[in-house]
A and B are shown apart, each in its own frame.
Chain A
């Protein structure tokens, strides 16, 4: 159901979605040399973002209570 909805939206803005797919294809392979330092930094960023999202969700829940 979700994918059919996305397809319907896609038919409304075919050019934009095509462009986004093209961008995703163009930048599919990261150019940076993935050294252990880079991997560690990206892992830190992922964990940091998960932490922030959890904090924001907690705040949202406490507000609506």
Chain B
């Protein structure tokens, strides 16, 4: 009898913990899965097509990197109750504040254009005209936020996060050799030697792992959700689960293209989906749906990151818990970003390739600043109190940040000057 009651109370305790986690979970999972946006899926598809399973080990390494950077935003948001933009203004003054805010808005807008490029390309495979895609996306995203409830927005976002897992069944459908995945993919190696092209691919994968908008988005999201200091362990768990899934999706995407398109040079995920349609209709369809969903998930987070940042700095009401009458400027900036970015993709002859190149270059002007500010803020005892970085956390985070700054700079230089690393 005592054993049964013991088991019952243990079950109740675990169930209570799960319920608490489900209430607090959200920002970490959403930001991490949105990290696999249209650009990310394109990078993974191209990596798989070029090198097969050989670089899976590298993606596994990127999971903890993403986690360590993003968990700092959870602590900072929960302790200061401020978004990253406002925290920079407050701690470093208006020069760095304006620099970060304006750079963020520019990078986000350009990234949003690339998400629309991905979404329109994905749906054009099914014969949907780009204008219809843009209108549909704007309407759905409008419905998501106009209910005036953070909770509603988050739960709808979870649905799109679940759709991001479409690459998992797709990978099982291509019947890959598990032995090949383990032997070729899990043991660190550089296929064909450490060439300039391989270096470019490695840097592109790093570039998709940590983006400036992710830091701003998750911190603002933690604040809007109302996470407290006591919720930090749950927020960190949420981020860890998100990091696990983001790597999982990336690996399965590589498995799909690595199995069916190995050795093929592809320029975009839409091109991969079109090629896969000729091999297997279902897998090609899954890849196209996944690409659209990735772009959509990226778009809902990126447009919000800008609006939150503006609201924080200008002192506007800036919560998803406010309706359009209570927070008109917040929603105006949200829709303005969305509609202008979508419209750009509809302009015939718009320099979309140049915009994609620009995203890589401009992002690197903001990423180092955002990361350095993050570490400095996390080390300030007057701001963080007992939640500031420990020595071990500093060693890990500083190593990650230095490596990210170095590699992302090289990536943007190689995008600007392709011949620089060609030798």
- A: which residues have CB within 8 A of B? 19, 23-24, 26-33, 37-38, 41-42, 44-45, 48-49, 52, 55-56, 59
B93 A23 Cβ-Cβ under 8 A:
no
Residues in A with CB closer than 8 Å to B99 are 49
Q: Give B88 Cβ to nearest chain A Cβ, in Å.
A: 9
User: Which 9 pairs show the lowest CB-CB distances between chains A and B?
Assistant: A30-B93, A32-B91, A27-B89, A27-B94, A24-B94, A31-B91, A30-B92, A59-B416, A41-B372
A27 B372 Cβ-Cβ under 8 A:
no
B94 A59 Cβ-Cβ under 8 A:
no
Other A-B pairs, 10, CB within 8 Å; known A23-B313, A32-B376: A23-B89, A23-B94, A27-B97, A30-B93, A31-B383, A41-B375, A45-B369, A48-B368, A56-B416, A59-B417
In the docked arrangement, what's the CA distance between A27 and B383, Å?
16
Residues in B with CB closer than 8 Å to A38 are 376
Find B93's partner among A27, A37, A45 (CB 8 Å cutoff): A27
Q: Give A40 Cβ to nearest chain B Cβ, in Å.
A: 10
In the docked arrangement, what's the CA distance between A64 and B178, Å?
52
Chain A residue nearest to B413 (CB atoms) is: A55
- B: which residues have CB within 8 A of A? 89-94, 96-97, 99, 313-314, 361, 364-365, 368-369, 372, 375-377, 379-380, 382-383, 405, 409, 413, 416-417
B365 A19 Cβ-Cβ under 8 A:
no
In the docked arrangement, what's the CA distance between A32 and B372, Å?
13
In the docked arrangement, what's the CA distance between A30 and B87, Å?
10
Residues in B with CB closer than 8 Å to A42 are 92, 96
A-B contact pairs, 28 of them (CB 8 A): A19-B314, A23-B94, A23-B314, A26-B89, A27-B93, A27-B97, A28-B93, A29-B93, A30-B92, A30-B93, A31-B91, A32-B92, A33-B380, A37-B379, A38-B376, A41-B372, A41-B375, A41-B376, A42-B96, A44-B372, A45-B368, A45-B369, A48-B368, A49-B369, A55-B413, A55-B416, A56-B416, A59-B416
Q: Give A13 Cβ to nearest chain B Cβ, in Å.
A: 13
Residues in B with CB closer than 8 Å to A23 are 89, 94, 97, 313-314
Q: Give B89 Cβ to nearest chain A Cβ, in Å.
A: 4
Residues in A with CB closer than 8 Å to B382 are 31, 33
Among B92, B377, B383, B413, residue most surrounded by chain A Cβ atoms (within 10 Å)? B92
Q: Give B407 Cβ to nearest chain A Cβ, in Å.
A: 14
In the docked arrangement, what's the CA distance between A41 and B96, Å?
13
In the docked arrangement, what's the CA distance between A32 and B93, Å?
9
In the docked arrangement, what's the CA distance between A31 and B80, Å?
13
Q: Give B318 Cβ to nearest chain A Cβ, in Å.
A: 14
Residues in B with CB closer than 8 Å to A19 are 314
Residues in B with CB closer than 8 Å to A49 are 99, 365, 369
